[in-house]
Chain A
């Protein structure tokens, strides 16, 4: 046995200790801005949150100014934004989920095909594309030919942003499944389609779901692509062909209006809570499915 001299051992223990303390400190440093943002948003935003906030559309500058001068809370709410966000993100998910999953299945099944390599490269490229550029593309390809801003153009822009996350998470999850699972399905005489739909995708459910969740959370807060496609709307719009508002768009509009600026806090709080609730529901579903 080799004998260590005891001073070198205690020096190493000391280094271990220092490293551990550094890890703890740095994770704390990372948590500070997050906690500060949430604290600020809650502190400044909670006053505005009442029933009206969820049932009325965004107030006009004049109403807000009068209310402020009278010292009360700003009237109105953000329901036009909430409905626009849910509608557009919902439609974007309807487009991106099937396309993304099928794309992911293809990439996992034919990893060496030339087409697959091209698709992978393009997916990575879209993932790295700034969202404002996706907005510009959607503007030139959809808004200009259609002749007007519309919620559907916003949905398509958002679905483009969702695609890479869904494609890659589907691909990664399917690759982790053992090949024997696919062989077991085929050995029972099942068609390839049925093996994919009834064996592989259900087995990959939690991974797929996590990917979809990440993608959805990401686009819930997207603003730039919507500015150029959905534009915004001061009324509730259920029609996908009309311009629509969205919560992040409203935050931007409030920010630019000195009379409405106080509303950014409550809107941000709402958006944070929405994403949080979304995450909790998703975690719950994933946990239940894995039982």
Chain B
């Protein structure tokens, strides 16, 4: 059976405190080469769900996850987290380039931190390719040896996207990647996402409904840990099937 669902969530529940689910029995299938937005009011569990997909919760031993998360036919909850994280790249809310590394080394950080040695020519190629794909190459090609933190916030965030892309992940998880950026930088990143989704599946958590409307193909609406509605973005924004989604989209809570 061949469908184009790259990621399947089956009854995923996540709790920070035993008996109290922050994410409750979420089931969803995510299509390859699409952008899926997860929306919802603060504390609805959207970041929690996203972070489960690359096993970020492993850092905090109190967190308990049940259900299945299937990425390319493998249940990632049973895999080695290191392998999972190479398949699922992540971009965070605030740009976080490694402050001790140059722009060049930031792009290659995934290789360096994994102890993978590459020939110089291949490194140069990866750096140029990734920086080009985030539209940063022309801006920084003269200053590749400067520290990553020397860039502006929007540039730093694009550098972080390049860093994630360098490992050629199957899926890119983004946790409110533009919430710390100004509208112009946000706009650039949105354009960039529409470009890179041709080769990659993106799941993006966003607070910003109009952002979800602008860039996503599919949208999830979560409320109090539950997946209330999951549909094509146009359908959800024009004709939501659940009353709570409608209220949220109208700005009645959130």
Contacts and interface: CB of A to CB of B under 8 A. Distances in A.
Interface in A165-192: 178, 180-191
Contact of A184 (B86, B92, B112, B115): B92
B100 A184 contact: no
A53 B58 CA distance: 60
Contacts of A205: 100
A2 to B, nearest CB: 40
A43 interface: no
Contacts of A182: 59
A190 B114 contact: yes
Contacts of B112: 198
A202 B92 contact: no
B114 A189 contact: yes
A127 B113 CA distance: 36
B96 interface: yes
Interface in A37-80: none
B244 interface: no
Contacts of A195: 113
A199 B100 CA distance: 8
A188 B89 CA distance: 7
Interface in B89-108: 89-90, 92-94, 96, 98-100
A194 interface: yes
Interface string B75-98: 000000011111001101110101
Interface string A224-251: 0000000000000000000000000000
Contact of A190 (B99, B113, B164): B113
A183 B163 contact: no
B92 A183 contact: yes
A279 interface: no
A195 to B, nearest CB: 7
Contact of B85 (A178, A180, A188): A188
Nearest to A188: B110
A183 B57 CA distance: 10
Interface of B: 54, 56, 58-59, 82-86, 89-90, 92-94, 96, 98-100, 109-110, 112-115, 160, 163-164, 167
Closest 7 CB pairs of A and B: A190-B113, A189-B86, A187-B90, A189-B85, A188-B110, A202-B100, A180-B96
